[in-house]
Amino acid sequence: MAGIVLLVRIQRSVRPMPAKIHQFMCLQDNFGVLLHDETSGATAAIDAPEAAAVARALAETGWRLTDILVTHHHSDHTAGIPELKQRYGCRVVAPRGEAARIDGADDTVGEGESVTVGTLSARVIETPGHTAGHISYWFEAEKLAFVGDTLFSIGCGRVIEGTPEMMWNSLAKLRALPDDARFYCGHEYTASNIAFALTVDPDNAALKERAAEVAALRAEGKPTLPSTIGVEKAANPFLRADDPALAARLGLAGRPAAEVFARIRGAKDTFRG
Known catalytic residues?
Answer: 72, 74, 76-77, 130, 149, 187
Q: Report how far apart, in Å, the C-alpha atoms of 148 and of each of 62, 75, 80 are.
A: 25, 13, 15
- Find all residues with CB under 8 Å of 234, minimum gap 6, and list them: 204, 206, 207
Q: Report how far apart, in Å, the C-alpha atoms of 103 and of each of 47, 94, 148, 237, 261 are.
A: 12, 10, 18, 35, 33
Q: Is 62 left (phi over 0), alpha (psi -120 to 50) or beta?
A: left
Rounded CA-CA distance 97/95 in Å is 6
Q: Are 170 and 160 in contact (CB under 8 A)?
A: no
Q: Establish how many alpha carbons lie within 13 A of residue 271's alpha carbon, considering only the half-sphere containing its beta carbon.
A: 19
What DSSP state is assigned to residue 9? P
